[in-house]
Amino acid sequence: MFVTTGQAGTALGCSIPTVKKLMATDVVPGVREQGRQVFPLAALQALQARPAADLSVLGAPEVAVLRADAPARVEEPDRDWIGFGAGLDEAQLLAALSGWWRCDPVRVAAGGVLPVTVAGFVVAVLTGLTEWESDGAVGTAGRYRFPKARLAGYLTDLTAPANAADPAQPEDARLAGLLLGTRLPSVSGGPVAYVPTRPTTADRPDTEGGVIR
């Protein structure tokens, strides 16, 4: 059985474009084109059951979140893709996700881990964020890359989360196991959001799966 993208968006608390972005990552199995895109009901039910990320186990007061788009080809010297896609290999994913973003690199590094989300679901986890490079722009226009970033984990099937990477460091494996497949809402005017690890009771979800303060 299938539902429309509108029905899926209502069930997941997000917009139709956000649902379509999630479908375009190929991380949801069984998506079909039947004159229009349709979402598998079984997959939708599995996603609705995914737990919220427990950020309280992280040591930092906040964690940066990279809000990724579906994969898109680029012509850049250090990468061929940007965004997240289940069909990309580990090297392609790491290059696509480790920069260049408008962000505060000090805040990103302080969190110790960078969950990557699509439609509010954690689909990848980066660590090794202690060093960064700037594109040379000044102020808020600056973009940064994290050349030592590691891909601690990523998913190829969001409905049955299992780490498709094989991290060498036990701490990377632990963080990926805690975060992959969980729901992690965030809001931001750019690709990187900053989420408190112990949100206040005043925080509440919005219709895009974000957080309103």
213/206 Cα distance (integer angstroms): 10
- What was the pLDDT predicted at 203? 47
- What was the pLDDT predicted at 140? 66
The full length of the chain comes to 213
Count CB-CB contacts under 10 A for residue 118: 26
159/132 Cα distance (integer angstroms): 33
Is the whole model's pTM more than 0.85, yes or no?
A: yes
Contact status, residue 116 vs residue 125, Cβ threshold 8 Å:
yes
- 33, β-bridge pairs: 37
Residue entry with tokens 């050349």 = 147
172/166 Cα distance (integer angstroms): 9
**DSSP code of 177?**
H
- What was the pLDDT predicted at 181? 98
Give me 144's structure tokens: 């940064």
- What was the pLDDT predicted at 136? 86
Contact status, residue 82 vs residue 201, Cβ threshold 8 Å:
no
List per-block mean pLDDT (blocks of 10 residues) for the chain, which spans 213 residues. 94 94 94 81 96 94 96 93 96 95 95 97 98 85 93 97 96 97 94 88 46 29
